[in-house]
Amino acid sequence: MQRTILHVDLDAFFCAVEEILDPRLKGKAFVVAGSPTGRGVVTSASYPARKYGVHSAMPTAAALRLFPRLVVVPARHHVYGEHSERVMEILRQSVPVMEQISIDEAFLDVSSHPDTGERVAGALQQRIRTELQLPTSWGVAPNRLVAKIATNVGKPNGLVVVPAGTEAAFLAPLPVGMLWGVGPKTQSVLAELGVRTIGDLAAMPVQRLASRFGERAADLQAGARGEDDSPIEESREARSISNETTFARDVSDTEALQRTLRSLVEEVGRRARQAGLGGTTVRIKLRWPDFTTITRQVRLPQATDQDGEILAAALDLFHHAWRPGAPVRLIGVGLSNLGPASRQLSLFDHRWEEDSRLLRAVDSIRERFGDDAVLRASDLPAPGEGDAHPKGPVGPKPP
């Protein structure tokens, strides 16, 4: 059976949500970003802002230099998560198989749907616009690789259909950088070989590519021809749960860093418990002032969703990776290798159960009254301590 795969991307999603909350922003050049006076970065840029060269991941201060009248809106990640869930629920109810890949993207397999892919995509695009006031772009193709590229070609508010058998012809004139797995370094090497477009890559003798890319050459050419047999997998479980914070000023104080790490762990643990998941791998992430970034991880003997166990592992990793007094720009913690939360308890092991009940009670209070409703005394900020800019959840949101 010929596959029909849809890809949907919520256009400038964070900005689109902010326009719903404040209609005065519509048509304006604005960004959802951190403070320009610290080390804030642009998370999302409206399309009018993009006309001035503003884009996501650039420092907020640099964006303001490009366009001084740029409006800067602080991020509200929990609100974006709520809007994302509404969109994803519509998709889940409407198609046989849906795979969410980020807060604002999903793949849909409608191969067994009675309507054409174009009609399904068009109807969903209209419904999301009408019911949720959110703009979306869509790609329709025989596989996920071409469907995603079709979405990018049509943005914003586009719906691009690539019929079966035309994949290579559709891709041929596009810049080779639009192909999955072709980043700046790969582009540079390909440019040395005279490859500028995806069509150039498809036509390049595989032996010549192999001399530079080895076994990867065959995969690059398969992608350039629009070949991709990877399935759409219905999965409502997070592959990992993580959180990180970028400091407004570099932090080198041990207590401040440990306090931040504890706060990040509490958020990760709360999300794991909400999802009914436990993880066996704890990971930390550290970024130095020169943007060098390291990660360290450790595997636990059994899956956990408990803050104390996650924190103990994270602190051990931190003290092995961090030199006392070294300034830190960013710190993060993650929990992965997720599965159903379970525990092998001994006959006399009651402390874990007591800790679990306490944590769930704290979760319930914070859910009802806010994150600051329950604080550890050690988490109260020291006088004069610099602020940090949390980035919020990273990676797929748990169900």
User: If DSSP states are collapsed to H, E and C, what string results for 225-239?
Assistant: CCCCCCCCCCCCCCC
Which residue among 177, 195, 224 closes a domain?
Answer: 224
Strands 136-141, 159-161: parallel, antiparallel or unpaired by DSSP? parallel
* Mean pLDDT along residues 138-161: 97
Is there a catalytic annotation at residue 105?
A: yes
Q: Please tell me which residue, 384 or 255, carries the higher pLDDT value.
A: 255
Q: In terms of domains, do 245 and 388 share one?
A: yes
Least confident window among 64-68, 351-355, 391-395: 391-395
The answer to whether residue 16 is domain-embedded is no
The answer to whether residue 17 is domain-embedded is no
The answer to whether residue 172 is domain-embedded is yes
CB half-sphere exposure, 300, CA atoms < 13 A: 25
> Range of 345's domain?
240-394
Q: In terms of domains, do 258 and 186 share one?
A: no
Q: In terms of domains, do 216 and 251 share one?
A: no
Token pair 């604002």 is at which residue? Answer: 104
pLDDT at 99 over 70: yes
CA dist 157 and 278 (Å) reads 39
Least confident window among 37-51, 216-230, 379-393: 379-393
The answer to whether residue 302 is domain-embedded is yes
The answer to whether residue 65 is domain-embedded is no
pLDDT at 115 over 90: yes
Q: In terms of domains, do 172 and 266 share one?
A: no
Residues 177-200: pLDDT tens digits? Answer: 999 878 888 899 999 999 999 999
Number of domains into which the chain is organized: 2
The answer to whether residue 126 is domain-embedded is no
pLDDT at 39 over 50: yes
* Mean pLDDT along residues 97-120: 92
What angle (nearest 5°) sits at the alpha carbon of residue 41, between those of residues 36 and 46? 95
pLDDT at res. 174: 97
Active-site residue, from 85, 99, 105, 215: 105
Q: In terms of domains, do 377 and 285 share one?
A: yes
pLDDT at res. 357: 54
pLDDT at 358 over 80: no
pLDDT at res. 351: 52
User: If DSSP states are collapsed to H, E and C, what string results for the chain?
Assistant: CCCCEEEEEECCHHHHHHHHHCHHHCCCCEEEECCCCCCCEEEEECHHHHCCCCCCCCEHHHHHHHCCCCEEECCCHHHHHHHHHHHHHHHHHHCCEEEEEECCEEEEECCCCCCCHHHHHHHHHHHHHHHHCCCEEEEEECCHHHHHHHHHHHCCCCEEECCCCCHHHHHCCCEHHHCCCCCHHHHHHHHHCCCCEHHHHHHCCHHHHHHHHCCHHHHHHHHHCCCCCCCCCCCCCCCEEEEEEEEEEEECCHHHHHHHHHHHHHHHHHHHHHHCEEEEEEEEEEECCCCCEEEEEEEEEEEECCHHHHHHHHHHHHHHHCCCCCCEEEEEEEEEEEEECCCCCCCCCCHHHHHHHHHHHHHHHHHHHCHHHCCCHHHCCCCCCCCEEEEEEECCCCC
pLDDT at res. 348: 44
* Mean pLDDT along residues 337-346: 61
Is the Cβ–Cβ distance between 103 and 81 less than 8 Å?
A: yes
Residues 204-254: pLDDT tens digits? Answer: 998 999 999 998 899 999 999 999 999 988 754 456 788 888 887 889 999
Least confident window among 4-8, 38-42, 157-161, 382-386: 382-386
Q: In terms of domains, do 257 and 362 share one?
A: yes
Q: In terms of domains, do 323 and 347 share one?
A: yes
Residue 344 contacts by C-beta under 8 Å, 6 or more apart in sequence?
Answer: 302
* Mean pLDDT along residues 312-340: 91
pLDDT at 379 over 80: no
Q: In terms of domains, do 219 and 308 share one?
A: no
The answer to whether residue 264 is domain-embedded is yes
Average pLDDT, the chain: 85
**Which of 37, 33, 38 is CA-nearest to residue 70?**
33
Cβ neighbour number for residue 93 with a 10 Å cutoff: 8
- pTM of the full structure: 0.64
Q: Please tell me which residue, 397 or 288, carries the higher pLDDT value.
A: 288
Residue 91 contacts by C-beta under 8 Å, 6 or more apart in sequence?
Answer: 8, 98, 106, 108, 124
